[in-house]
Structure 1
Amino acid sequence: MARKNQKAPWEEEDDIIWVSKTEMKNDMIALQKIGEELVELKQAVLEKFPLSEELFDAIKDAQRFKNEAKRRQLQYIGKLMRNIDPEPIQAALDKLRNKHSQATAVLHKLETLRDKIIEEGDPAIEEVLELYPTADRQRLRQLARQAKKEQQSSKPPKASREIFQTLKDLETEEF
């Protein structure tokens, strides 16, 4: 005889999403890792993040703590994050990481441009002038000649560094 509160196996069940204990624990660990990343950030950067007052205070406290107290505070931050939507915070962290990689890519581009100026000379300088119309053609030519001489005589690359700095300054002028 079947109990009244149980459904027969042939009856349709409601759409219930079952979450395993392991999955819940993994989600909590992921939130705690986001919290750890937030604790590593400087206060000026943290203020730009979409954080609640309570979470912001908990992160500031965790930055002051050491060892065991810090570990417990990180767990508390993870607990606070379970009650909020972590998506905006994760998006802001991703954006912050992406800024760093974009800056690195720009520096690599400038390094290859500098090497091209030293190797090719005038054609590469023309390319730089197309990219940065405010560039000083005469100064770039002079630095390229000096850099080539420094390479041939195995001297420190002072002119090469100066070309890079000039290109970097031109890049920052663009923005």
Structure 2
Amino acid sequence: MRGKDETTGEFLGTSRSQQRRDALDVLELAQRLVALPPAQLAKLPVPEDLHPHIAETRRITSHIAHKRQLAFLAKQMRREDDEVLDAIRDALDAGGEAARQETALLHRAEHWRERLLDEGDAALAALIEAHPSADRQQLRQLVRNTLDERKRNKPLHAFRELFRAVKELLEAGEPGDDETA
């Protein structure tokens, strides 16, 4: 019910202008989802009931029909909770929490790789202590191969493999395991 509260003088509910702004925000989010490639869309926390609507919107090429279908998708999205829409926005946002966590993981993996190459066995022991499930032999071999590549000025294949192995190890571990790094 809209209008003013008789006792306090405050407006009840949101104004039509605010409702319209919210609807346009959801429409913009729908446009961003439709523009994403399917692989990237699969990584987002989009509810399963919206996937067919997104696929249908992509399929339609006629301008007016596409616009109509996009409006329908936005209508379906407005039925979702605000938390779901905020999670989708956050995952899409380059500066969102998910992106920050991914960037932090990459930085930790880079730090461990450099530490393994600089300190050798001491860093390997610290990494094994922080992540007991790590394959010591594989990591030692990758470190050895990377150092050999550097000496011979060869392409950095083992360097990248070491990064991947450390990153997978950090992803598998619980958050905060490698705080000592």
- TM-score (ref. length: structure 2): 0.64
Q: Provide the C-alpha distance between the structure 2 equivalents of 1:19 and 1:108, rounded to a whole number of angstroms.
A: 45
Paired residues in the alignment total 160
| Higher-Rg member (1/2) | 1
The 8 Å contact of residues 57 and 70 in structure 2, kept in 1 or not, is answered as yes
1:62 aligned onto 2:57? yes
Written as runs of structure 1 = structure 2, the 5 A alignment for 1:47-126 is: 49=47, 51=49, 58-66=53-61, 68=63, 69-82=65-78, 84=79, 86-94=81-89, 96-97=91-92, 98-99=97-98, 101-126=100-125
- Root-mean-square deviation (CA), in Å? 3.7
Written as runs of structure 1 = structure 2, the 5 A alignment for 1:88-167 is: 88-94=83-89, 96-97=91-92, 98-99=97-98, 101-167=100-166
Structure 2 unaligned residues grouped into runs of 5+: 1-5, 175-181
Deviation at 1:155, TM superposition (A): 1.3
The 8 Å contact of residues 111 and 164 in structure 1, kept in 2 or not, is answered as yes
Structure 1 unaligned residues grouped into runs of 5+: 1-10
Deviation at 1:113, TM superposition (A): 0.8
Deviation at 1:30, TM superposition (A): 0.4
Deviation at 1:172, TM superposition (A): 5.3
Q: Provide the C-alpha distance between the structure 1 equivalents of 2:99 and 2:133, rounded to a whole number of angstroms.
A: 26
- TM-score (ref. length: structure 1): 0.65
Counterpart residue identity of residue 134, structure 1 = S
1:26 match = 21
1:4 match = none
Q: Provide the C-alpha distance between the structure 2 equivalents of 1:58 and 1:140, rounded to a whole number of angstroms.
A: 46
The 8 Å contact of residues 30 and 74 in structure 2, kept in 1 or not, is answered as yes
Counterpart residue identity of residue 123, structure 1 = A
Deviation at 1:162, TM superposition (A): 2.8
The 8 Å contact of residues 132 and 170 in structure 1, kept in 2 or not, is answered as yes
Percent identity (aligned): 30
Counterpart residue identity of residue 140, structure 2 = R
Q: Provide the C-alpha distance between the structure 1 equivalents of 2:106 and 2:45, rounded to a whole number of angstroms.
A: 28
